[in-house]
Amino acid sequence: MTTLDDAKAWRDQDPDPVTRAELETLIADAETGDAAAVAALRDRFDARLAFGTAGLRGELGAGPNRMNRVLVSQAAAGFARFLLGRESHPSVVIGYDGRVNSDVFARDTAELMAGAGVRAILLPRALPTPVLAFAVRHLDASAGVMVTASHNPPRDNGYKVYLGGRDHGSQIVAPVDGEIHEAILGVATTTSIDQLPRSTDFETAGEEVVDAYVAATVALVPHGDDAPARTPVPFVYTAMHGVGWEVARRVFVEAGLGEPTVVAEQIEPDGAFPTVAFPNPEEPGAMDLSYATASRAGAQLIIANDPDADRLAVAIPDASAEAGWRRLTGNEVGALLGWRAAERLRRQDRMAKLAASIVSSPALSEVARAYGLSYSDTLTGFKWVSRVGGLAYGYEEALGYLVDPEKVRDKDGISAAADFLALAGELAAEGRTIADHLRAFDERFGAFASAQVSLRVTDLARIGQIMAALRDAPPASIGGVRVDQVDDFIRGFGVFPPSDILRFWMEGGARVIVRPSGTEPKVKVYIDASSAEGTAEQRRAAAEAQVAALEEGMRALVA
């Protein structure tokens, strides 16, 4: 079949009037010889969004290389076949966020799962990803589907999958992703979606699921006579136009953490994301409204969730920063929550494990060493962190934290926010701040500094070229610092499966990690250094100087 034939076949089965009209126009223009329309069709039909360990994620639009009702229907039917091949009576719980078409994709999934003979349970409304991850375990479901593109650009949507049973509600990993992908292709290549059986005989979960999530999260915050004294800290909260506010507010209030001042312009779900170019708290400008709101309100802390509330960003007052506020890095928040987790385990006289992805700061491993706890590095992606055996706390530097693995096996920006606010309140009761606690961390464990370099490309082949160049001719030095050792993960390394990752160990103990992004057209570089010599200020200055030199060197190498 030609691209034009593929487009017509897709159009004929598309139930969405918007994407169907999009194809009608492109087909008509392409038939007149319009070069732009021909190119647009090829972009949509010469490739297909592949189902991987992160599920599906891409721009909304018509065709197999976009997110739309046809593609999602094929994914739902294929996933149903996979589940029926694993269990005789599987079940799936389905959640969705506030992005464009998330509710439509979720209902399509529920109807197709029910039509295929899978017990389907749809969450009652748009809710955070952590609620869906919790529901998989709480309802003892075989699987979970979350329709979300998390912190991706506004025009994106996605389809994330969890497995229950022996997977304990974690996201999928290889080789399961490949098996699901093959099942989806089996549907896509043989069946028009209008021939797939559908049923409205699916269940809608009650509020009990949300109530149970809130109760379990509130329980994480110490209460009672033995709890540390806590003075609630005035804080600002933003949902970044996502779905976090309703559930987060309940947790904050019921846990006694206080009622936040909200960023009014960003508090309600809005799939257009009108106040941010990129709804990711890490992106420049994304938290500007939070800073302005916090300054007006006289707040002492800013708490930000990304649109599906599985990530947490924190900002603290800083007179030296341009807006008077500094967003803490994911590694800083991760280290403080890890220290808190270690203290919690010590009080409980319990041994357990801390874990972080290999691109996260080595700070957490030093906390584990100081407390006599086990520690594991994992591959990048929370699906690996959440699967560590005996885990008590895990994080990755991209603002993902898991503070309560018994409740959720995925990053959870709401429970992490509650834990962080409880920490801030306990410090306030002692007359101290988060900034003071960061300095105390440097004094006790050493100062750890980190930086990232992200090289976005327009030609995906450039990513392979950059990785090949570094692999074939590794640099002898970076930023004037000698490279002592190179670890290449391409054929596997130690306990790690084959991965396109290079790790450079530097003279003095600093490290540089280079890998392609798993979700964006980028090469990402992670730089970490530490110092345990001198005062806290001297340690911090030395670590940051090492990172700055390495960052300059890596920018020159990968530019």
The residues assigned a catalytic role are: 150
Token reading at 535: 């005062």
What is the H or E stretch that residue 268 is in?
A: none
Token reading at 422: 């409880």
**Residue 212 CA to chain centroid, in angstroms?**
23
Task: Please give the Cα distance from 395 to 450 (Å, whole number).
Answer: 15
Question: 514: buried, middle or exposed (CB in 10 Å: 19+, 13-18, 0-12)?
Answer: buried
Whole-angstrom CA distances from 398 to 2, 116, 411 are: 42, 37, 10
3-state secondary structure 468-526: HHHHHCCCCEECCEEEEEEEECCCCECCECCCCCEEEEECCCCEEEEEECCCCCEEEEE
Looking at 51-207, list the stretches that DSSP marks H as alpha helix, in order from N- to C-terminal side. Answer: 69-86, 102-116, 129-138, 176-188
Beta bridge partners of 147: 96, 159
Beta bridge partners of 62: none
Are 481 and 506 contacting, i.e. CB atoms less than 8 angstroms apart?
yes
* Bond from prior residue into 175 cis (ω within 30 degrees of 0): yes
Are 416 and 309 contacting, i.e. CB atoms less than 8 angstroms apart?
no
Token reading at 139: 């309802």
Task: Please give the Cα distance from 155 to 271 (Å, whole number).
Answer: 8
Task: Look up tokens 């309560």; give the residue.
Answer: 404
Residues 6+ apart with CB under 8 A from 233: 258, 300, 301, 421, 424, 425, 428
Are 28 and 12 contacting, i.e. CB atoms less than 8 angstroms apart?
no
Task: Write phi, then psi, for 496 (nearest 5 degrees).
Answer: -90, 135
Helix axes 413-429, 330-347, angle to 10 degrees: 70
**Residue 23 CA to chain centroid, in angstroms?**
32
